[in-house]
Amino acid sequence: MVDNKWTLLVHGGAGIILRGALSAEQDEGARAGLTKALEAGSTLLANGGSAMDAVAAAVIKLEDDVHFNAGRGAVFTYEGINELDASIMEGATRRAGAVAAVRHTRNPVLLARAVMEHSPHVMLSRDGADAFSREQGLEQVEPNYFATPERWRQLEELKANKLDYYDIDMKYGTVGAVAVDQHGNVAAATSTGGLTGKRWGRIGDSPIIGAGNYADNRACAVSATGAGEFFIRLGVAHEICARMRMLGEDAKLAADHVITELGQLGGTGGVIVTAPDGTSIFSFNTPGMYRGRATSDGEKYVAIYGDE
């Protein structure tokens, strides 16, 4: 059934993002990046494209934007390496694909999709994922493509201050998108460089289906951003969908409940959620979250701070 209605949400991370903490260039750049992502995805949806194509297109734009911690502009590990994680899922079949700690694929979200569509697996990692990427003919880049001076400065500051290998200012720049298309199908995609100074092969929630990403036509599509260890422990993305499907909660009630529980455990972050009926919400327990929404009704919304 086609009803010509569609919805697209994007995020570029959540954290201690306060007015005055960002420079004018950072504020304007982030808003421009979110707008480009919305335009890329909404153009497809408006022309009858699938939710899967839309979330991939939106996340590609964010991966290519140095203002966000995904793709080009990703943070460094403690050893000074960019290791990238991504996942994607469609709600109609609940097929999913994910990659962890890849180093050579320009757009990790496309590699996650290739895993879903062209392999018998859900998740690939490290050298194997990079080899699969080459076999699939995806665009390869040298590792220094992802590196930026600002991310290197952040790593040096972390080491100098002995900040325990974590992104202490909590400006998580993980990116993601969720969408429902004109056929009522939902999809979700998430991509990240992880935490500044991560060690020992650490992998967060972004590539883990059910934690940082989930899509189910019976409930909703979710993409998360924040303190990944807590999102993994709670299975945040799946938990929201499960509450909607099994308890009959709407998207806002389900998401707010899970984010409240996240906070009670000591975790911070947020989610974007959309349901097959077009309902869409943002839920976060941080001062800000880079976020945006576009709909078939003509809504175009981009925001950063909590009071927007």
Residues identified as active-site: 174
Rounded CA gap, 10 and 202, in Å?
Answer: 25
Residues 17, 289 contacting (CB under 8 angstroms): yes
CB 225 within 8 A of CB 262: no
> Nearest-CA neighbor of 265 among 232, 224, 240?
232
Residue 280 main-chain phi, psi, to 5 deg: -145, 140
> Phi, psi (5° rounding) for residue 240?
-65, -50
The SS3 of residue 186 is: strand
User: Is 136 buried (19+), middle (13-18) or exposed (0-12) by CB count in 10 A?
Assistant: middle
